């Protein structure tokens, strides 16, 4: 079963571009108002730049910007939200919609964090149990990821969370 991944951000946001690059390298297709990339069919990534009416039955909403532009955004049941721990706008919108949230940040309160970083690899830590889109349980643990370039920390954490929710264990970014 594939999931729709919707990225909510500003146009030309560097973090959004990194997340798209990572996910398309893992087989995702990508759709924006300026680009369509065919993937292996595992899942689709869609960029949204403003409040959008969503009529989907499951998927992942990744909030990159902490912007009032998305004020009033609603998310249907069956979705999962991903955002940085400090993104109050996204946290409030996810809570109002009653959907589960995966927070990403650098402390023990977050679901996904980075536990070790050097120039060639990092350890991404899943700190709570997740259920992936296939209904399988993903237990807390660390995932070693080889780096092919330098990424923003949220790009790595959010991409790792999306991949884990899609039943893919990340290994190279």
pLDDT in tens, the chain (173 residues): 457 999 999 988 999 999 999 999 999 999 988 888 887 877 999 999 999 999 888 899 999 988 888 999 999 988 999 999 999 999 999 999 999 999 999 999 999 999 887 778 889 999 999 999 888 999 999 999 988 888 999 999 999 999 999 999 988 87
| Contact in structure between 94 and 6 (CB atoms under 8 Å) | no
Letter string b/e over residues 45-55, b meaning 16 or more CB atoms within 10 A of that residue's CB? bbbbbeeeebe
The domain made up of 4-165 has a fold known as 3.40.1190
Q: Where are the domains of the chain?
A: 4-165
State the alpha helices, DSSP H only, in 8-167.
Answer: 14-25, 88-97, 153-165
Tokens 């700190």 belong to: 127
């Amino acid at each position: 079963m594939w999931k729709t991944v919707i990225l909510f951000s500003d146009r030309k946001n560097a973090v959004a571009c990194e997340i798209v690059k990572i996910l398309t390298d893992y087989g995702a297709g990508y759709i924006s108002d300026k680009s369509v990339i065919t993937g292996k069919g595992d899942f689709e990534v869609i960029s949204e730049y403003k409040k959008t009416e969503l009529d989907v039955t499951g998927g992942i909403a990744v909030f990159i910007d902490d912007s009032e532009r998305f004020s009033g955004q609603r998310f249907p049941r069956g979705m999962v939200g991903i955002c940085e721990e400090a993104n109050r706008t996204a946290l409030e919108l996810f809570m109002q919609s009653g959907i589960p949230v995966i927070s990403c940040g650098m402390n023990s309160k977050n679901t996904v964090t980075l536990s070790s970083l050097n120039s060639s690899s990092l350890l991404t830590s899943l700190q709570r149990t997740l259920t992936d889109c296939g209904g399988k349980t993903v237990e807390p643990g660390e995932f070693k990821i080889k780096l092919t370039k330098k990424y923003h920390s949220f790009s790595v954490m959010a991409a790792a969370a999306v991949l884990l929710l899609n039943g893919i264990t990340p290994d190279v970014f």
